[in-house]
Amino acid sequence: MISRGSENMEYYGVVCLVLAILVWIWLAMVMEHKKTKLGHQLPPGPRCWPVVGNIFQIGLSPPHESFTILARKHGPIMTLWLGSMCTVVVSSSEVACDMFKNNDVALAGRKIYEAMKGNHGHGSEGSLITSQYNAHWRMLKRLSTTEFFVTSRLDAMRGVRAKCIDRMVHLIDEAVRESGNGVDVGKFFFLMAFNLIGNLIFSKDLLDPEMERGARFYHHAVKVMKYAGKPNVADFFPILKRFDPQRIRRNTQFHVERAFEIAGWFIKQRMENDIVDGGNENNKDFLDVLLQFRGDSVGGPYSFTSRTINVVVFEMFTAGTDTTTSTLEWAMAELLHNPRTLKKVQMELRSKIGADRKFEENDIEKLPYLKAVIKETLRLHPPLPFLVPHMAMDSCKIGDYYIPKETQILVNIWAIGRDPKVWDAPLLFWPERFMEPNMVDYKGHHFEFIPFGSGRRMCPAMPLASRVLPLALGSLLSYFDWILPDGLKPEVMDMTEGMGITLRKAVPLKAIPVPYKRTPVDVAAKQ
């Protein structure tokens, strides 16, 4: 019996080995066929291995760093094979200019990874981020630019932003009074950003001791960002998609659906209470706008369902919180790493604002150095180092190279922001470079500096970010002096980058806030 069992085990082992070899050969043949068909037309790139492509050549460094090193050898536009996924990487402002100016429509598609696919195997209905470029997406983009992020509505919601940032300052002040130790700076930025989005959409703090549903929504949103930021072998080898070997898609969709249930409860409550403001347009929150738009679209050419509203709401939280947190945490880290720059921006704040009143949004235009600090942070540490991956909707040419339909396009803005051909001392955190006359901005027209992207798929929330980032950072620099804990010296700070959906610090920033002055912020935070 034992002998017969051993023979069976050996037999099945041989069968499995033969099948694995046959699958390997088949994948290698398929990939080689694709390369033979397209390779002579594609941009140059490193030689790749059968089946796995260039995956092992990327190394253990974060992909944006590995791709930057490869681009130095193979050029500012190069082809990489990530398994069977053909990927073209753009690493210079000149090539980015050609892409966005001459091929914006052809390359306006989205490469949708498995984690973000809906239950029906395609991008989420209603998503501004993952929907393909079509009439429905254009309707959503128009809604964002004319209703959510238009100047009149942003001006009307100035008090909401001030309340959330005052609340953040108040909580930091409480934390340091209770413990006297360093605080996790990124945590407070994240809570502020999450509650800000909650107020813009639902007119309430979701992270509040009395808001249990808000805490659960936060939990599921964080889980989605965690899973969606993990490398997934099913994206590189289509044969594995149905198996979901890392359970990334399954786990992501579980938390997405739980978050949708909670968002649906808020939407239902709003509809039952019938508190959509039909009077003053500027007093509406984003949910009011979405519900009104759904009502107006009934019978129209584009569907705008409850699920569409859920997707838009959830996307605002996931896209808005992590990117804001990443940028602000890096800004604080760079300032603590460069004490002279920290002192200079605080001197600007305190000399122009004064000690008798708190820092307000109207003051931002008086503070060019503060704005330069934000720009320099976005240059060195763009929250999305590849933007959101583009996909060729149709075949096109970039320069002399042919880009086949369905090719993934990654724009390495991390590399572009550190290009020594464009930037003097590119690795130096030097906000003064943005104080020069006629310096570049981040509105998508200067391709050496496009942290929010460019063209049709540029981030529509850029006008909101341009207000929140300097207001939040300036408030903490105005109300507190900052000291590194445990006698840590600025020059030995850990400035390593980690990777998730966004480019966060690998080691969270901890610092000790020392109140600089007593202000009306406590009163404002409680109102």
Helix spans in 48-150 (H):
55-58, 63-74, 93-102, 135-143
Q: Give the span between the Cα atoms of 217 and 60, in whole angstroms.
A: 33
Task: Identify the pLDDT of residue 1.
Answer: 44
- For the stretch 280-330, pLDDT in tens is 555 788 999 888 887 665 555 566 788 888 899 999 998 999 999 999 999
pLDDT interval class at 125 (50, 70, 90): low
CB 442 within 8 A of CB 463: no
In 288-395, DSSP assigns E strands to 390-391
Helix (H, G, I), strand (E, B) or coil at 451: coil
CA distances 174 to 63, 360, 514, 515, Å, are: 39, 21, 12, 11
Could you tell me which of 492, 519, 497 has the C-alpha nearest to residue 507? Answer: 497
Q: Would residue 425 be called left, alpha or beta, if left means φ above 0 and alpha means ψ between -120 and 50 degrees?
A: left
pLDDT tops 60 at residue 30:
no
**First-to-last C-alpha distance (Å) of the chain:** 80
pLDDT tops 80 at residue 95:
yes
Amino acid at 289: V
Q: Tell me the average pLDDT of the chain.
A: 86
Q: Can you tell me the mean pLDDT for 512-517? A: 87
Please give the structure tokens belonging to residue 115. Answer: 């984690």
Task: Identify the pLDDT of residue 28.
Answer: 53
Task: Identify the pLDDT of residue 279.
Answer: 46
**Among 44-53, 71-80, 109-118, 514-523, the range of highest mean pLDDT:** 71-80
399-407: list long-range contacts, CB under 8 Å, 24+ apart.
Answer: 399/77, 399/95, 399/98, 401/41, 401/42, 401/43, 401/77, 401/88, 402/38, 402/41, 402/42, 403/42, 403/88, 403/103, 403/106, 403/107, 404/38, 404/41, 404/42, 404/86, 406/86, 407/86, 407/87, 407/88
pLDDT tops 90 at residue 57:
no
Amino acid at 211: M
CB 262 within 8 A of CB 224: no
Q: Can you tell me the mean pLDDT for 113-137? A: 76
Helix (H, G, I), strand (E, B) or coil at 454: coil
Rounded to 10 deg, the angle between the 212-228 and 306-337 helix axes is 70
pLDDT interval class at 340 (50, 70, 90): very high
Please give the structure tokens belonging to residue 80. Answer: 């990489």
Helix spans in 274-305 (H):
286-297
- For the stretch 358-403, pLDDT in tens is 899 999 999 999 999 999 999 999 999 999 999 999 999 999 999 9
Could you tell me which of 53, 34, 15, 51 has the C-alpha nearest to residue 239? Answer: 51
Task: Identify the pLDDT of residue 180.
Answer: 73
CB 162 within 8 A of CB 361: yes
- For the stretch 204-237, pLDDT in tens is 998 887 788 888 999 999 899 888 888 899 999 8
Q: State CA 245 to chain mean position distance.
A: 25
- For the stretch 400-441, pLDDT in tens is 999 999 999 999 999 999 999 999 999 999 999 999 877 789
12, containing H or E segment = helix 2-38
Could you tell me which of 458, 480, 445, 452 has the C-alpha nearest to residue 375? Answer: 452
| Cross-strand partners of 505 | 497
Task: Identify the pLDDT of residue 331.
Answer: 98
CA distances 93 to 120, 169, 210, Å, are: 37, 38, 49
Could you tell me which of 371, 395, 516, 355 has the C-alpha nearest to residue 42? Answer: 395
Helix (H, G, I), strand (E, B) or coil at 383: coil
**Among 182-186, 469-473, 512-516, the range of highest mean pLDDT:** 469-473
Could you tell me which of 411, 378, 451 has the C-alpha nearest to residue 103? Answer: 411
